[in-house]
Amino acid sequence: MTTRRRRPNSSPAAALDDDDLLAEILLRLPPNPSSLPRASLTCRRWRGLLRDPRFLRRFRAHHRSRGTPPVIGFFTEVYSGISFVPTLDPPDRVPPERFRLHITGSADNCRIVCCRDGLALLVNVRPGQVLVWDPVTGDQRRLPLPLAFRNMDKIYNGMVLRSAASAAVGDGDRFQFQIVLVRCIKGRHARAIACVYSSDTGAWGDIIQISTPLLRTLSMVKSGALVGRSLYWSLYGNSTAILEFDLDRENLAVLPSHLAGWIMSAEGGGLGLVSVLDHRAEVWKRETDSYGVATWLLTKTIFLDKLLPLSTGDRWIIDFAEEHNMLILGTIDGIGIFTVHIGTMQWKKLPVNLQKISGGIQPFSSVYTAEMGVSAEHAGAELLHN
């Protein structure tokens, strides 16, 4: 006769009595803004755990490392400065006043260059500063512009990247980042220049540049892309090309291309591009054969007028958010601003009036935990009832 060994009590109820196990379970709640406020209403013990700053850091880092933060809104350049427009439906809608930013000097001198990894990169032409801002935690770092990038009439391109160390779950969400600024100088001595800032060293690096006749008549689109370990910007003018910045080797290159559009990560990896002509979006992938010859292959065609309430002759203002694989389409004639996800084909109309926008629109994704701050007497109540 055999006897069965009694297993230790591993019931769900016993697991919830262990704070460490409970924290591991709650860490896996969806990264929606209402998730933690909802869970905090369960009991006083859960509320205390969810409001612990150490747990909140782990929660943000956990979901950032998995690439799951939702797009919670858009930052836009309006005539009064930088404005946040929430786009999620209640109870996940984030109040716009949560992301107010004090701007030194005239508001119309400030431009939002990029949002990525839950960070926003802004340039204030006067007094010549770069600002890196985490709207959720409130962390800010103001830096002087490199000399080669001053006295430019708001013509800045660049990208901010959260460092790999700060993205690791065990490291919380320390304010560590890298900035890459780029510009193209046209004319007889045409060249592209770049400069890199690392919060690890606390300094800008040397100016990196490349000269080529291709750049004499070309301008750079505002939105860049991170594909692998390189940054890309499309160049357009009398011809088209692609500006590449290798993050590891810190060098620039110009790639000839016959296509005009926005760079993206192709399905399955590698360099992709999305172009829009009239009411048709085309998705391309760059392939290289065994002889090193690169060609572009058409992989998808999207008929936008079959997705969106458009009319023949609508005039467009178009941008592309590579981090979210999302086209941003605005109609000058006042129909509205729409987003279209290239992969899922899902679209949404934004609550934004195009006539009130003086500059670009930058989608902002992050794990929003501000409503769980330790100073909140009734954590999450305002968000859930917003």
Residue 7 inside a domain? The answer is no
Query: Is-contact 236 185, C-beta < 8 A?
Result: no
Percent of the chain topping pLDDT 70: 79
- DSSP state string for 118-162: TEEEEEETTTTEEEEE-TTT--EEEEEPPGGGSS-SS--EEEEEE
| pLDDT tops 70 at residue 278 | yes
Please tell me the least confidently modeled range out of 2-16, 132-146, 293-307, 370-384. 370-384
Residue scoring higher pLDDT (173 or 191): 191
- What is the pLDDT averaged over residues 80-105? 82
Residue scoring higher pLDDT (173 or 318): 318
Q: What does pLDDT average to over the chain?
A: 82
Please tell me the least confidently modeled range out of 1-5, 94-98, 268-272, 326-330. 1-5
| pLDDT tops 90 at residue 175 | no
Q: Does residue 19 sit in the same domain as residue 100?
A: no
Give the distance, in angstroms, between the CA of residue 258 and the centroid of all CA atoms in the same chain: 27
Quick one: 181 exposed, middle or buried, by C-beta within 10 A (0-12, 13-18, 19+)?
A: buried
| pLDDT tops 80 at residue 121 | yes
Residue 82 inside a domain? The answer is yes
Residue 5 inside a domain? The answer is no
pLDDT band for position 160 (50/70/90)? very high
91 prior amide bond cis, ω within 30: yes
Q: Does residue 123 sit in the same domain as residue 51?
A: no
pLDDT band for position 329 (50/70/90)? confident
If you average pLDDT over each of 79-93, 259-273, 300-314, 370-384, which comes out highest? 259-273
Number of domains in the chain: 2
Q: Does residue 195 sit in the same domain as residue 329?
A: yes
155-177 burial, b if ≥16 CB within 10 A, otherwise e?
ebbbbbbbbeebbebebebbbbb
- For 221-265, write each residue's pLDDT tens digit: 778 999 999 999 998 887 888 999 999 999 999 998 888 899 999
Query: Is-contact 242 266, C-beta < 8 A?
Result: no
Q: Does residue 26 sit in the same domain as residue 149?
A: no
pLDDT score recorded for residue 179: 96
pLDDT score recorded for residue 13: 59
- What is the pLDDT averaged over residues 297-309? 90
pLDDT score recorded for residue 237: 81
Kindly report the CATH number assigned to the domain that includes residue 214.
2.120.10
pLDDT score recorded for residue 248: 94
Q: Does residue 148 sit in the same domain as residue 95?
A: yes
| pLDDT tops 60 at residue 116 | yes
Query: Is-contact 362 119, C-beta < 8 A?
Result: no
- Give, to the nearest 10 degrees, the angle between helix 53-65 and helix 19-26: 40
pLDDT score recorded for residue 263: 93
Closest to 347 measured CA to CA, from 369, 371, 326, 376: 326
Q: Does residue 30 sit in the same domain as residue 90?
A: no
Q: Which residue has the tokens 């998808």?
A: 300
Residue 28 structural domain: 12-58+374-384
Residue 319 inside a domain? The answer is yes
Q: Does residue 133 sit in the same domain as residue 171?
A: yes
Q: Does residue 121 sit in the same domain as residue 145?
A: yes
Please tell me the least confidently modeled range out of 63-67, 365-369, 370-374. 370-374
- DSSP state string for 264-297: EEPTTSSEEEEEEETTEEEEEEEEE-TTS-EEEE
Query: Is-contact 262 221, C-beta < 8 A?
Result: yes
Q: Does residue 179 sit in the same domain as residue 285?
A: yes
Residue 1 inside a domain? The answer is no
Q: Does residue 121 sit in the same domain as residue 26?
A: no
Percent of the chain topping pLDDT 90: 38
pLDDT score recorded for residue 376: 40
Q: Does residue 40 sit in the same domain as residue 181?
A: no
For 184-193, the CB contacts below 8 A with 24+ separation are 184/215, 184/218, 184/219, 184/220, 184/235, 184/243, 185/215, 186/215, 186/216, 186/217, 186/218, 186/219, 187/216, 188/216, 190/214, 190/215, 190/216, 191/215, 192/243, 192/252, 192/254, 193/148, 193/252
In the chain, what's the furthest Cα-to-Cα distance?
Answer: 94
Q: Does residue 211 sit in the same domain as residue 346?
A: yes
| pLDDT tops 90 at residue 361 | no
Around Cβ 187, how many Cβ atoms within 10 Å?
9
Counts of helices then strands in the chain (DSSP H, E)? 8, 25
